[in-house]
Structure 1
Amino acid sequence: MSAPEQPSATVFKGPAELVLAAEIARRHYLRGQTKVEIADDLRVSRFRVARLLQVARQAGMVRIEIQQSGTIDLDRSIRLRERFGLEHAVVVDCPERDQQSLRSMLGRAAADLLAEVVTAGDLIGLAWARCVQSMVRQAQRMPQASVVQLTGVLPRPNERSGSIEDETAVDIVRDLARVCRGPAYLYFAPFLVPDAATAHALRRQPEIVRAFDKASSADVAVVGIGGWAPGLSTLYQAATPPERAEGARAGVCAEIAGVCLAADGEPLHTPLNERMISVTAAQFGAMSQRIAIPYGSDKHPAVLAALRSGLVTMLVTHSSLAEALLERDQPSGTP
C-alpha cells in the first residue's frame, strides 16, 4: 500500500479506528483476504470493513500524524494488537531520549484514544502516573462522564528539581471530571500508610468505600505500568528497603495501580499490600476496559508481565518499547 501524500488523521474517529483501517487494508490488499473474512476475523460488520477500505483508499494508509504531536507506527500497532490479543494498540513513533516530549506525545495519543472509546454516561477510573497526568492535561473534548480515583496519594520528587510534585491522584481525577462535565469520586488518603491497622481503618471511611465500590464497575481505567527496580516505579521508590527486597524474593516484576505481578502475569500479594489504599487485582480486573500507557524500553519485562496478566486490554506506547516487546515475546517454536 502506498500513497502520494500523508492521510489526514481527521478522516478517522480516532487512533483506534485509524489502526483498524490500516489492519483491514493490509489484510485485504497484502494478504488477499475478502471483506467477509476480515469481518469474521476482526469481529466487525462487513459494512464497516467496506467503509474503512474506501476511506483508506481515499486517504492513503502509510503513516498518519496526530495534531502535529507525532506519528502512529501502524505496523507495530497492528503487530502488538495481534500478538497480545488487545482490543486496541496505539504505538507512537517518537524518540525515547527526551522523556518529557515522549510523555507529551503519549499523553496526546492516549487522550485521543480515551475520547474515542468513552461514551456518554461512562465511568472512567484513573491511577496516578506521569503518563496519565500528561493525558489528562491534553484531554480537551470528552463525552459527558464521571471519574473515579483508583489509588491514594503518593508524594513524588520532581524529576528535575528534586522537590515534591504538587499534582496528585486527586488532582487528575478532578481535572478530567471537569473536562468530562461529570462528578468526581475521590478521597484524600495516602497510597501508603504506616501499617496495616491504619490502612484497614481508612478503607472503612465512607468516601473510600464509595470510590472503591464505583471503581469495580468502571467502564474504562487508565494506568501506568511500573517495574520492580529503582527508577521504574513510584511505588517501588516509596517502599521500604525490606519491602523492596521482599517483593523481589516473591517474584514481583511489575505493578499496576498497586497490583503487583509476577513475570508470568500472576497477581501477587505482598506485605506491602497490607498498607496500601488502592484497588485490588479483582477490582481492577472487573473494569470493562483497561488502558495502560507505559514508556521506556527498560520497562519491557514489566510491560510483558502486565500484558500476560490479562489486566491490560488497550496499550498506548512508543516504537522502541513496542519493538522490545515484540522481540522478547516470540511465538513458541521461533528460534
Structure 2
Amino acid sequence: MSTTHQELLADIATAYYLDNTSKVEIAKEHGISRFQVARYLDEARREGVVDITIHRPAHTQIDAAALAAVLGVEGVDIAREPAGRSAREAVAVQAAATLDSLARKGCTIGVSWSRTLSLMTTHLGQLPTCDVVQLAGDLRFGNDAGSGQLIHQLGTAAGGRTWPLPAPLIVESAQLASSLRRLPEISEAQAKADHLDIAMVAIGTWTSGRSTVWARVSEEERASIAAAGAVAEISGRLLTETGEHVDAGLDGRVIAVTIDQLRAATTTVAIAYGLDNLPGVLAALRGGFIQRLVIDGDLAAALAEHAGLDAA
C-alpha cells in the first residue's frame, strides 16, 4: 500500500470517525462514491490504519455466577440500564424477570413493600397460578398507592389467592401493634408467611433516602437505632454490620415478616441498587438468609471489588 493511498485512508477515517462527517460528504470532497468510502473505511480497519477500542462499563464485565459463588448465594441477577431507564426501574424490570423464572404452579410468593418492588409488579406478565402473601404493612410515599396496589397487581399476575396485610408497617406503640396482630386477617397473613416458597424483599441501608422506615421514626429513635449497631433494614427489621438481627426498640411496633420467616423461605430474593446501599447488602448477605440477589451494575461492581473478584 503506497504512502499516498495510506494517507487517503487516514484522511477518510479521520473525517468519518473523528469529525463525524457523513459518507456522502466525504465522497463529494474526494470525488468518489459513498460506496467507495465504505470500502476505504473497511480497508482502513483491516490494514490497521484505524484501531477501535471499546471500553465497557466495569459491571458489564462481571461474571454473575462467579460473584454469586464468592458472595455465598445461589444466584446474582445484574440489571442492565438502557438509556433513559433509572437504576430503580432497571432493577424492577430484572426483579420481575427473576420472579418469573422462579415461580412454579402452586407455590406461595411473599412480597414486602418498597417502591422498587411496587414498580416490579408493573413489569410482570402472567405467572403460573400461585398464592401471594403480603409480608409487610403499608408505608406510603407521596402519591404512591402503597402496598395495597402492589399486592393486587401481583395477585392478578399470579391468579391465586392473596393474603393482604391491612395494617401500617409501623404503628405508634407495641401495644397497638400487638392488638392489630390479633385481628384474624392479619394473623392469618402472618401465619401464611411461615410457609414461603419465594420471598421478595428490598434491602435498605439505615440512612436517609435508603430506608423506607428512616423517615417514619424520630431523630431520637434514629440515633438510638444507630447506637444499637443497625446498618441495614429489611421490611422494618434491623440488621447489624455482621448480619445479626437487632431489635433497637423498633420490632414491637413493626407489622411485617420476621427474619426467621425469611430464613425459612425456600428462596429469599433481595433487591437493592446504588453504591450507597453497599453496607446494607453486605449486612444482609452476612445474615445468611438471602439466596438470590437482584442488583444494578454499580452495586455489582462494588460487591465484586469488595470481594476481590476480578472482572472477566
Residues 277-334 of structure 1, C-alpha deviations (whole Å, 9 max, x = no match): 1111112211111111101111101111111111211011111111111222349xxx
1:87 alignment partner AA: E
For residues 168 and 155 of structure 1, the distance between their equivalents in structure 2, rounded to whole angstroms, comes to 5
Deviation at 1:101, TM superposition (A): 2.3
| Residues 132, 161 of structure 2: 8 Å contact kept | yes
2:79 corresponds to: 92
Query: Which one of 208, 226, 235 corresponds to residue 248 of structure 1?
Result: 226
Deviation at 1:130, TM superposition (A): 1.6
Going from structure 1 to structure 2, the CA distance change for 1:74 and 1:185 (only over 3 Å counts) comes to farther
Residues 230-256 of structure 1, C-alpha deviations (whole Å, 9 max, x = no match): 111111111111111111000001011
Correspondence 1:152 to 2:137: yes
For residues 258 and 102 of structure 2, the distance between their equivalents in structure 1, rounded to whole angstroms, comes to 24
Correspondence 1:131 to 2:120: no
TM-score between both structures, scaled by the size of structure 2: 0.77
Correspondence 1:217 to 2:195: yes
| Residues 76, 323 of structure 1: 8 Å contact kept | no
Secondary structure in structure 1 of the residue aligned to 2:250: helix
Runs of 5+ unmatched residues, structure 1: 1-71, 157-163
Identity in percent: 35
Deviation at 1:94, TM superposition (A): 2.7
Deviation at 1:259, TM superposition (A): 1.6
Deviation at 1:155, TM superposition (A): 2.4
For residues 155 and 80 of structure 2, the distance between their equivalents in structure 1, rounded to whole angstroms, comes to 29
2:36 corresponds to: none
Correspondence 1:273 to 2:258: no
1:120 corresponds to: 105
Deviation at 1:166, TM superposition (A): 3.2
Going from structure 1 to structure 2, the CA distance change for 1:191 and 1:216 (only over 3 Å counts) comes to same
Going from structure 1 to structure 2, the CA distance change for 1:226 and 1:120 (only over 3 Å counts) comes to same
Deviation at 1:167, TM superposition (A): 1.6
Deviation at 1:73, TM superposition (A): 4.0
| Residues 73, 92 of structure 1: 8 Å contact kept | no
| Residues 225, 256 of structure 1: 8 Å contact kept | yes
Query: Which one of 69, 82, 85 corresponds to residue 82 of structure 1?
Result: 69
Secondary structure in structure 1 of the residue aligned to 2:242: coil
Residues 147-185 of structure 1, C-alpha deviations (whole Å, 9 max, x = no match): 1011111122xxxxxxx2332112211111111111110
1:36-51 map, 5 Å:
none
For residues 105 and 275 of structure 1, the distance between their equivalents in structure 2, rounded to whole angstroms, comes to 32
| Residues 138, 146 of structure 2: 8 Å contact kept | yes
| Residues 76, 319 of structure 1: 8 Å contact kept | no
Going from structure 1 to structure 2, the CA distance change for 1:177 and 1:74 (only over 3 Å counts) comes to farther
For residues 127 and 194 of structure 1, the distance between their equivalents in structure 2, rounded to whole angstroms, comes to 20
For residues 246 and 153 of structure 1, the distance between their equivalents in structure 2, rounded to whole angstroms, comes to 24
1:242 alignment partner AA: E
1:271 alignment partner AA: G
2:125 corresponds to: 140
Structure possessing the higher radius of gyration over alpha carbons: 2
1:136 alignment partner AA: T
Residues 99-143 of structure 1, C-alpha deviations (whole Å, 9 max, x = no match): x62222222211111111110001100111122112111001211
Residues 182-201 of structure 1, C-alpha deviations (whole Å, 9 max, x = no match): 11101321111111110110
For residues 143 and 73 of structure 1, the distance between their equivalents in structure 2, rounded to whole angstroms, comes to 31
Secondary structure in structure 2 of the residue aligned to 1:255: strand
Q: How many residues of Structure 1 are paired with residues of Structure 2 in the alignment?
A: 251
1:239 corresponds to: 217
For residues 209 and 257 of structure 2, the distance between their equivalents in structure 1, rounded to whole angstroms, comes to 23
Deviation at 1:74, TM superposition (A): 6.8
For residues 213 and 287 of structure 1, the distance between their equivalents in structure 2, rounded to whole angstroms, comes to 13
Runs of 5+ unmatched residues, structure 2: 1-58
1:196 alignment partner AA: A
Residues 207-232 of structure 1, C-alpha deviations (whole Å, 9 max, x = no match): 11100110110100111111111111
For residues 154 and 175 of structure 1, the distance between their equivalents in structure 2, rounded to whole angstroms, comes to 17
For residues 80 and 278 of structure 1, the distance between their equivalents in structure 2, rounded to whole angstroms, comes to 30
Q: Which has the higher contact order (CA 8 A, sep 6+)?
A: 2
For residues 216 and 137 of structure 1, the distance between their equivalents in structure 2, rounded to whole angstroms, comes to 27
Residues 44-80 of structure 1, C-alpha deviations (whole Å, 9 max, x = no match): xxxxxxxxxxxxxxxxxxxxxxxxxxxx947341232
